[in-house]
Structures are given as C-alpha cells and as structure tokens.
Amino acid sequence: MCGITGWVDFTRDLTDEYPLVHAMTETLTARGPDAGGVWLDGHVALGHRRLAVIDVEHGTQPMRTPERGPGDLPRSVISYGGEIYNFRELRAELALLGHRFTTRSDTEVALRAYLEWGAGFVHRLNGMYALAIWDTARDELLLVRDRLGVKPLYYHPTADGVLFGSEPKAILAHPLARAGAGAEELCDALLFLRTPGRVPFRGMRELKPGHLLRVRRDGLSEERYWALESRPHTDDLPTTVATVRDLLDDIVPRQMVADVPLVSLLSGGLDSSTVTALAQRARAADGGRLTTFSVDFTGHTENFRADPIRPTPDGPYALEVARHVGSDHHAIVLDRARLLDPAVRRTVLGAWDLPFNFADLDVSLFLLFAAVREHATVALSGEGADEIFGGYLWFSDPDARRADTFPWLKLGAHRGLDPRSLFHPWFVDGIDLGEYEADLYRTALAEVPRLDGESAQDRRTRELGYLTLTRWLPILLDKKDRMGMASGLEGRVPFCDHRLVEYVFNVPWEMKTFSGQEKALLREAATGLLPESVRRRKKAAYPSIQDPAYDRALITGLTTAAGDAGAPLSHCLDGAAVRRLTGRTATGSLSEFERILVESTVRLDEWLRTYQVELDTGALGAAWPRTA
C-alpha cells in the first residue's frame, strides 16, 4: 500500500533538504511500516514509506530506472502506493517490447509502463494507486490517482512548484504549508459529503479520482483521464446477471495477488459475503483456506434493538456464511471502554487528518483493523456495492428522490443529522452554509452524464447513482484507507473495479431491482454462492454500539466544547440545542444519526485544536467573531 510524499521547487536546489523531506516522509510511517526512502536531486525530492505486499525483499522505493537522462541522472524515478492488479499481464507485454526487469514488483511495472507509453500508461492500469513520477528529460512531475479514488493523494501548490502527500500531514510537515480555514473550509467540514478536489485545509487540494497532475516550470495542469459515461444498456436480464458474475469471478481472484497473508472482512451482508465466497473458492483452488473477520460489541447480539437501517444483527449471518463457504472465522468483540479510550480516539483523529467522522464506526473499524493486522497485511471488503447496485434507502425513498440536495443529507436531516441544529443561526448564516450546499449540488448535477431518451425515473436514478459514487463513496473509501493504514493494513475493494462500475452504472433501475428488493441484480449474480437466508437478507448498515452510557460520554464531550470559553467552537454552539440532547441521554439513548452529529461536532472542535487551524476571520465575515 505505502505512503508517498514529495516537493518540487523549480527555483531551488533541494539536494541539502534531506532532513525536511525525511520528516515529511516519516509522518507516513503507519502507512508503510516496513521501509522508507528519500530521493533528491536538483529541484525535486521524493519520499516513500513501504508496506511490503508484493516482492517483499525487493521493490524498495523511490525506484529509479537504470536508463539515464540529462546530466546522467535516472531517466525517471517513481514513488508509488497501492496495487496494480494486472501487473503480471503488463509485465509480459512490456517484456515482449524489450523491457528487462530486476524485481517482481508492480512498482517496476508501473515505472517501465510509463517509459513505454508516457502518461497514457494510466489507461492500461487496473488497480488502486496514487503515484508520482519524476521525468528527468521532460523536467516534469506527474501525479496520478486511480479512477475511483481508492487511494488518496493531496497536493499544495507553491509559488515555484508543489508539495504533495498521501495524507495532509505529510504536506503540513513542510513550513510552506499552513493549517488554515475560512468559511468554505468550515462548510466542507460540516457537510456529510466529499466534493472532488476540495480539502478543509486552505491552499491544499485533493487530486481528483481519475485525474493526473503535471507539474512543470510554467505551472500546474490537471487532466481527467477517466470519467463515468452514459451508454444505452442493450443486454437482457440473464445476460446482465451473467456479465456481473463473470466480472466478479475475474475481479476477486485478481485482487488476491499478494506475497503476504490476505483475509476477508465478513459482516454477513450480501456484499462482503459475496466477496468472501468468491475469495474462498479461489483460495480452495490453491489448496488453502480463507480467514475471515467480523466486528461485534459486547452484548450486541443478545440485546439487539432493530431500527430502519439495521433490521438484523450481523453476528449470526457472518457465522452462517463462514460455515457455508468453509472459512476460518474470527469475531472481534469490542466494548464501550475501548471505543472511548482517549488514546485510541486521538489515533483515529490523527489518522484522518480531517474533521470527517462516523461516530463509533470510525473507532470500531480502526480497532477491528488493528486486530486483523496481527494476522494479515491485506483485507478484502465489500465497499462500493451499495453505490453501484443501488442499495441505499435514498435510491427508493420518495422524499430523497425528490430532494433538491444530496439525498443522504435530506434523509439525515429528517433523522436528526443536520449540522445546522447544534449551531447558532448567525454562525450558519455567516458561513453561508445553505447556499454553499446548494452550489455544490448544482455543480454536481451539472457533471452527470446524460442519456437521450431516458425516462424521468431512470434520469433521476442516474443522477442519484452519480452523486453517490462521486460525493458519498469517497467518504467511505477514505475511512477504509485511513483506518486500515493507521494499522498498516491494506484494504482492497473488488466492487470498485472500474470495469464493474462502468457496466452497472448503465443498467436501468428496473433491472437492478427486478425482483422488488434492493440490489436484486447482485443477489441474482450471487446465486449458488451463499446461503439463501444471506442472499435474501435485507440490507443492514455497519454495526454501531447500542449503549446509553456511551452516548452520555459523548454528550460530556459536547458540553465541554460548548462550555469551554477557550474551545474553538464554544461561542458558535447553540447552548439550548446542546441541553436538549443532554436531556435525551438522561432518559434514553441517542439515535444513530444524533450520535454521528454529536461526535462530528466534537471532532471538528478537536480538529481545530489539534491541528491549530488558523481561522481566517476576515473570510468568515459575519460568522466570526461573535458572542452567544
């Protein structure tokens, strides 16, 4: 998986800047605990931290070509993180073209593919990746991010070049980068969506999924190399089901390539169970047995309370799938004390670098990954299926479908997840949160690829699918990446293979739900893989702790932030709203959405504090300063 970072300055000699670049690189040690390296020459510096997955003994980075360029320097140098799943096919093709290899790594394949095909090599890659290639002959840095954005990559333009890194912390380790925020950055932090390219640190950018960035003396230029396209779907239902199954039969074994232990995360839901069943088939074909992991909470199954997004507990279904496919299953059981451990929560914030938050889901995922890391280095999981097959409630809920905003924000607001509800109206109006949200929605809708002749229902479903893939899925992929990499665990997501996404994106809604149940198309494609009880199980969200004492502890954190005059958000929080939530926990539990609201607000306050974010009070206008 690894972590990458670097610095280009066309007006300076960076040869003596090793201590600074090394410090930037070391911020990513959790992402790459196995090895680290720095390469400097002239006005470029590349750093790398390695998590060894393929060709463990070799494949160290930054990797240089033996071919020489101007000044007898390496023709090209690469710092790369991720996995290229078709590297063996590319290696064979390049060998026929005369390339010679000294390692078995996918890193060397990527580097030599660039030498052969230039920036166009990205069209040949199947995988998840964030990479930087310095081309000595062109005097150019090329940054590339995978199509769906599974791997993160950030950059910070400077007057004479660029800083970049797998995580913001690597960039912030450089004195040219400051942790600052204005009204737009606070809006980004408060809204539960990700806008491609935007980051809540002023001056910093995210390289958008499916994009590359060229850094030259004459400036920076970002180019899109992949985008979702709308095409007529001409396959009938049996052909569509068979195509989905054929794709999954290829994707899952392809993503199992590794020279280190690999496991599968298994919730007992349709998505992870399908991945697990296919992975076990591939493992059994090699004479092996797959290990699987799930997460649960003390007393959760016994005291389970059903709700609209979690109608059934995961535990019994995960065990049923494990028995059915024959995996070696382990349930990681967590309790309230571990979820509230201050050291763990600081680690989670430090892993994110950003104020995004999924309440106890973040912490439990980190603890699950930490436990899995004791057994393996790579884990398969089911993210992406709900996004492409239409598994979320907002694909079918009439109010969400009619919403003039992002549908999950509409549903969340109805259930207590509205960031406006905890802040004074003058603050919300001062940062212009409503208009900012509306503008982001208009921009996102304008991007949706259209198809002539579509029905109104299919047109709206296409919009919802596009919004979910580009504004919601990135949050989940970031969460999986950050919590996994904080433990040195590489997460792989077969449903995010671009071939599957491209195909299913264009399947009409009536075919995706032909049986009347959500994700009917995937359920049919999984025929013969799973127990019928699991194949037909209604979607259940990732498990969340159900413990009133946990909620009371959260409220304590919120009241502390509201009552501490030195807290960054103290004068912005509405004391009456905080007291109403406090009263709720005195007589019962918070709802799932209220819990996320409380934790996200506390996380924002902690983020402002921990990262010493300099608030641009001029840009905040009427929202700052103000007393309650």
Q: Is 273 annotated as a binding residue?
A: no
Q: Is 421 annotated as a binding residue?
A: no
Residue 516: its H or E element: none
Strand partners, 127: 84
Q: Write the single-letter amino acid at 625.
A: P
Going by C-alpha positions, the residue among 260, 248, 497, 250 that lies closest to residue 378 is: 260
Q: How many CB atoms lie within 10 A of CB 182?
A: 19
Q: Is 497 annotated as a binding residue?
A: no
Residue 531: its H or E element: none
State phi, psi for 604 to the nearest 5 degrees.
Answer: -60, -45
**Quick one: CA dihedral 304, 307, 309, 311, positive or negative?**
positive
Q: Are 372 and 293 within 8 A, CB to CB?
A: yes
Q: Write the single-letter amino acid at 382.
A: G
Residue with tokens 């439990």: 364
Q: Is 314 annotated as a binding residue?
A: no
Displacement of CA 5 from its chain's centroid (Å): 18
Name the catalytic one among 2, 187, 496, 572: 2
Q: Are 480 and 496 within 8 A, CB to CB?
A: no
Who contacts 259 (Cβ-Cβ below 8 Å, separation ≥6)? 52, 53, 54, 55, 56
Q: CA 553 → CA 162, 530, 544, 558, distances in Å?
A: 42, 40, 15, 9
For the record, the structure tokens of 139 come out as 């005097």
Q: CA 78 → CA 38, 51, 311, 509, distances in Å?
A: 11, 16, 48, 42
Q: Write the single-letter amino acid at 64.
A: R
187 in active site: no
Going by C-alpha positions, the residue among 216, 210, 113 that lies closest to residue 153 is: 210
State phi, psi for 603 to the nearest 5 degrees.
Answer: -65, -40
Beta-strand relationship, 63-64 and 127-135? unpaired
Q: Is 399 annotated as a binding residue?
A: no
Measured between alpha carbons, how far is 63 from 204 in angstroms, rounded to an integer? 27
Beta-strand relationship, 490-492 and 378-380? parallel
Measured between alpha carbons, how far is 176 from 525 in angstroms, rounded to an integer? 52
Measured between alpha carbons, how far is 101 from 223 in angstroms, rounded to an integer? 30
Beta-strand relationship, 211-216 and 219-224? antiparallel
**With 0-12 CB in 10 A as exposed, 13-18 as middle and 19+ as buried, what is 475?**
middle
Annotated binding site: 106, 265, 295, 381-382
Residues contributing to the annotated binding site for L-glutamine:
106
| Residues tagged active-site | 2
Binding-site members for ATP are 265, 295, 381-382
